[in-house]
Structure 1
């Protein structure tokens, strides 16, 4: 008995076999894992900020200075969304691509505002989000090229 693929989802073997497509497909999988990990770390950052105000260094006169507890809630909520979207990307859900680009962009902005509190980790998070946006946009354009 031959195994059939549902019409809504083409098997991976139908995607072009070019090196660029394989790189984009692998990048998308890696982006999903990075989003999931970034989400879990955001949840941990959020819990640390909510639980104890003196976990992060205090900032002097800064435009985006919020109470660390407020930043904790922001990181917790964005971390949960990042983790959920990361799982969606790993499940190859089409809604997760667009949502992933949007939430990764938001994560870049929030980590830029978070720079004075944890500069090294904020820069690492920004770099991760930039890679995620690139991988999702590349994969989306590759998918459009195969359906056109």
Structure 2
């Protein structure tokens, strides 16, 4: 018995969306590396990362922030690899984690302004890239 299957046609818009998703996955893995390095640095040498100043705005102690950045980096890296693999829920998880990461770096803005602004910009780019095209992977 033979069955006739209709071939799936891809358009330029579909190929563009896959390219944007791959870009988002790449940026997510890059952010993950940055976050893991930040987390480890905060755990190893807390005074160098978060120096004690009179007007310190840090919400939690440096060790807690180190663990937050480390966990966030690992989760974003896993979601980034999920986006590379084409796992549908990885895009939604990536958007949520990118929003949490942007918020965490916003809270860290007073301690390291340039680094936080750079990471927030990368997080916004990831959110845009993961939400610009909403059709599921094939």
The TM-score with structure 1 as length reference comes to 0.79
Match of residue 4 from structure 1: none
Tell me how far apart the structure 2 counterparts of residues 132 and 27 of structure 1 sit (CA, whole Å): 9
Aligned-residue RMSD, C-alpha: 2.2
Match of residue 9 from structure 2: 14
Match of residue 129 from structure 1: 123
Q: Which runs of 5+ in 1 are unaligned?
A: 1-10
The TM-score with structure 2 as length reference comes to 0.84
**Which contiguous aligned blocks of 4+ residues in structure 1 show a shift greater than 4 angstroms?**
none
> 1:16: how far off?
2.0
Match of residue 41 from structure 1: 34
CA displacement 1:21-68 (0-9 Å, x = unmatched): 544332211110100110111111000000111221425435543221
Q: Which runs of 5+ in 2 are unaligned?
A: 1-6
Number of positions where the alignment pairs a residue of Structure 1 with one of Structure 2: 131
Match of residue 4 from structure 2: none
